[in-house]
Each structure stands twice: as structure tokens, then as C-alpha cells.
Amino acid sequence: MGVFNRLFNKKSVNAVENEYFIDLIKFKCNNTALGEQPTLKEHFCESFDENGCFDDKFNGVELGLSHRSLDYVFVSLKTFNGKFFVNGTDLPIGIDSCEKDIIKLFGVPYWRDEDENEVILFYEDGHIELQFEFPKKATLAFITMMKSPILEDPEHRKSYKVTKPWPPNTKIQIQNFK
């Protein structure tokens, strides 16, 4: 750890190639599901900073803890080193995926937010939220999987102009995938 990191108690992430396996239906990063405590088997287990954040920019993944349990997984597809899958089968999702590709796989989202800068598709499943972000209304750039949904908060629903009732009675499922 460098002097700056020691002074500010930040854990550094060396440029090491770590592959991530993200299950978008079981809501897992490698072997740890949202709401579970990472085990020592996970390469990231002891890499969280004092705020419960592990930022592996080199591999395009940020993980966050809440009360020692995995709270969110944020993936930047530009640098992502890993795979998305369902029940052990690779999902055809990547930086070239467009909004129609995601809707074809996951169905109509609970909410779609659009402004001049981006489109965000929100999929809800109980206390789990999946977000697919398309900057400049182009191709997929970010995926967020979280245990504490943003849209659970009435103020956030208001800011996103959500008109549908909460909580939704939806389940995240793969629609058209073999």
C-alpha cells in the first residue's frame, strides 16, 4: 500500500486481471449473492475500504457492502472482464447491446427513464433492482444490480417521474433466451 493510501486508509487495487461472473437472475457476483457476506473464496473478500467499497476499475467492477453483506454490483462494460449468465449459460450482453436487446431478453422494464443524456431501464424483483444504462441513448455502458432499489425511495420515484404503483409485483426473468 502506498503512502497516500495509508494516510487515507484506502485499499489499493493492483492492475490484476480478475474475471467476474455475474448472474443476473440469481443476483450473484461470482459465488456471492446480493445480501450475502463475501467468503474468503472470493478474491475481493478482504479488499473493501472503510466505507464498504471495492473499486476494481481495471476489470470494470465496483462492489459495495452494507452491514458486511453485498449490497450492489456496478459494472462498466467498457473495461469489464467477465461474463453475464443465467443458470450457467452465457447471456449475450455486452458493450454492443442496445436497448432492444435488453428488452428482448428481460421483457418490458418496470420503468424506463429517458433524458437528453441517457436511457435507464429499471427492472424490479422484490428488494432487488437491475438497471441498464445507455448513455447518449446509444449502446449499453453500465449495469447496476442492487439490494436497496433506488426506486424504493418515494423521492427518487418522484425525481424519475414514476407513475406506476410501488411496490411492483414483478419478477426479473429471461424472456427469449435458449
Residue whose C-alpha cell is 418496470: 110
CB 14 within 8 A of CB 132: no
Q: What is the DSSP letter of 117?
A: S
Task: Return the pLDDT at 177.
Answer: 62
- How far apart (Å, rounded) are the C-alpha atoms in residues 13 and 83? 20
Predicted confidence (pLDDT) per residue in 101-139, tens digit: 999 999 999 999 999 999 999 999 999 999 999 999 899
Backbone angles phi, psi at 31, to 5 degrees: -105, 5
Predicted confidence (pLDDT) per residue in 36-71, tens digit: 999 999 999 999 999 999 999 999 999 999 999 999
Domain extent listing, the chain = 17-159
Length of the chain: 178
Q: Model's pTM, two decimal places?
A: 0.89
Instruction: Indicate the SS3 state at residue 22.
Output: strand
Task: Return the pLDDT at 155.
Answer: 97
